Amino acid sequence: MGFDEMDVDTIWMDGEFVDWDDAQIHVLTHGLHYGTGIFEGARCYDTEEGPAIFRWEEHIERLYQSAKPYEMEIDHDIEELTEATLELIQRQELASCYIRPIAFYGYDTLGVGPGDCPTRIAIAAWPWGAYLGEDALENGIEVMVSSWRKHASSQIPTNAKTTGLYVNSLLAGEEARRNGYAEAIVLNKEGDVAEGPGENIFMVRDGEIYTPGLSESILDGITRRTVITLAEDLGYTVHDRASISRGELNTADELFFTGSAAEVTPIRKVDNVVIGDGDRGPVTEDIQSKFFEVVERRTDEYDDWFTYV
C-alpha cells in the first residue's frame, strides 16, 4: 500500500507539525546527494493499555549515537523528540504504526564536506503491517546469499544507522527479488554471514542459538538484543558473538530474521536448500510466540521496554 492510500496527514519537522504534503526539502540538500543522514525505525503496537512504542528509548538513543561519526548536531533533545512522536501518533489517531525519525544534513553548500549545512530532522508515522508479508511470519521465507558483500566497519561505521549505507541493502535485496526470493543474506568481507539487508539473522543448531557478533560487520539491532534476552529467559543458550560460515546456513536446524520491521521471520530455504523441515522450526516458533506475547502486552513482563502514547 502506498502512502497516498493511507490515512496519514501530519509529519513533525524541525520542531513543528506540518501537513504531510508540505514536508519537503530542496533538491540540493546535502543528504540527498551524499547519503549524509541517519534514521531509526520503531514500531508502536496496539495494546489493551493503548498504543505502546516498543523500546523507544533504545531507538532514540541509537539515533544520537549514529550522529556521532558524522559530527552531526541534533538541535532537539531526546525528551522533545519523544513528546513530538507521542503527539504525532495521537494527532493521527494511530493504534499501531511504524515510526521513522530521520536527521540529515540540509541545504547550504554542495561540497562533499557538509560545511555550514544545517541538520534537519523529521519524524513520520504510518500503518505498516508485516514487512515481509503476513504469510511469512508463519510459513517463513525463501532467501538467497547475495553476491554483494557487507562493507567493513573500517570502511564505514556499521554501528551507525546511516541513510547512504542502505544502497548496499537495496542492491542485495533487489538482486534477491529479481531471482524470485523474498530477501537476501549478506556476507561480510571475510565471506562469513553478516545479516540481511534490513535484518539481523539467527541460526539454531542442536537446540542452541547463534547470531553473528558485532565484529562481523552487523548493525547492533534492537530487536536482536530483544530476542537474545527473550531466548535466554526461555532457557536457551545463545551465542551472540558467533562467526557463521556460509556453509553452516545449509546445515542449520532453523534460521530466522529479526528486525523492527521484520519482527521475527522464519527462513525456510536458502539458495533453494531446505532448512530443517522446511517450515517454522520449534525454537523459532517458541521465540516468535514470546516476542508477540510481549509486544502485544499479553504479559506484564518487560513493561520497561514500552513507552505508552
State yes or no: is 161 an active-site residue: yes
> Which is catalytic among the residues 150, 161, 269, 290?
161
For the entire predicted model, the pTM comes to 0.95
Q: Give the cell for residue 179.
A: 531471482
Where does the pLDDT of residue 90 fall: very low under 50, low under 70, confident under 90, or very high at 90 and above?
very high
Q: What is the mean pLDDT of the chain?
A: 96
Q: Are 256 and 231 in contact (CB under 8 A)?
A: no
- pLDDT of 17-33, one tens digit each? 999 999 999 999 999 99
Domain with CATH 3.20.10.10 in the chain: 134-296
Q: Are 169 and 293 in contact (CB under 8 A)?
A: no
Q: Are 133 and 173 in contact (CB under 8 A)?
A: no
CB contact set of 35 (below 8 Å; sequence gap of 6+): 162, 163, 164, 165, 167
What average pLDDT does range 73-93 have in this prediction? 97
- pLDDT of 200-234, one tens digit each? 999 999 999 999 999 999 999 999 999 999 999 99
What average pLDDT does range 247-271 have in this prediction? 97
Residue with cell string 544502497: 167
- pLDDT computed for residue 4 by the predictor: 77
Domain with CATH 3.30.470.10 in the chain: 3-127
- pLDDT computed for residue 192 by the predictor: 98
In degrees and rounded to multiples of 5, residue 270 shows phi and psi of -125, 120
The conformation of residue 188, written as its DSSP 8-state character, comes to -
- pLDDT computed for residue 130 by the predictor: 76
Q: What percent of the chain lies above the pLDDT cut of 70?
A: 100
Topology, domain 3-127: D-amino Acid Aminotransferase; Chain A, domain 1 (3.30.470)
H or E, element range at 205: strand 200-205
Q: Would you give the distance in Å from CA 180 to the centre of its chain? A: 23
Burial environment of residue 295 by CB neighbours within 10 A (0 to 12, 13 to 18, 19 or more): buried
Q: Give the cell for residue 70.
A: 558524522
The conformation of residue 219, written as its DSSP 8-state character, comes to -
Handedness of CA 298, 262, 42, 283 (dihedral sign): positive
Which residues are paired to 141 by β-bridges?
267
Rounded CA separation 4/258 (Å)? 28
CATH of region 134-296, choose from 3.40.50.970, 3.40.190.10, 3.20.10.10, 3.40.50.300: 3.20.10.10
Residue with cell string 557487507: 150
